[in-house]
Amino acid sequence: MELQILAGDTVDGIKGAPNIGQTGALNLVREFGSAKDAIQAAKDDSERLLSMTRGKIMAKGLVEFEPKLEITRQLVTLKTDLAVPTNTRV
C-alpha cells in the first residue's frame, strides 16, 4: 500500500507524490518504511534521503505531497468489510 500511496495508481486515476515513480517509491519504502516517515525525512532534510539518487527532487515532491497523504491512503485502501448479498446473480 505504501508504494501505491507514493507512486500513485494510473489505472484508478490516483496521483502519487510529484517526481516519484515506482522505483523511487520502492527505494523510499525500503529506506524509511512508510510514506509518512519518508515525508518526515524530507521535512527534516535527512541526509539518508538527500544522498539517494534523485533525493533532492524526491524530497521536494514529498513535502508538496504531505497535505494529500491521508486522502491518498484512503483511496488506495481496499475495503474487506463490505457485506455482499448472497442472492446476487452475475
With vertex at residue 3, the alpha carbon angle to CA 37 and CA 31, rounded to the nearest 5 degrees, is: 45
Question: Is residue 70 a part of any domain in this protein?
Answer: yes
Q: Which CATH number do you get for residue 6?
A: 1.10.150
The mean pLDDT value for 59-88 works out to: 92
Residue 14: pLDDT band by 50, 70, 90 thresholds?
A: very high
The mean pLDDT value for 38-44 works out to: 98
Q: What is the reported pLDDT for 18?
A: 97
Domain that holds residue 49: 2-74
Question: Is residue 53 a part of any domain in this protein?
Answer: yes
Which set of grid coordinates corresponds to residue 52?
539517494
Residue 49: pLDDT band by 50, 70, 90 thresholds?
A: very high
| DSSP element (H, E) containing 15 | strand 14-15
Question: Is residue 39 a part of any domain in this protein?
Answer: yes
The mean pLDDT value for 61-70 works out to: 98
Question: Is residue 86 a part of any domain in this protein?
Answer: no
Residue 90: pLDDT band by 50, 70, 90 thresholds?
A: low
Domain count, the chain: 1
Question: Is residue 87 a part of any domain in this protein?
Answer: no
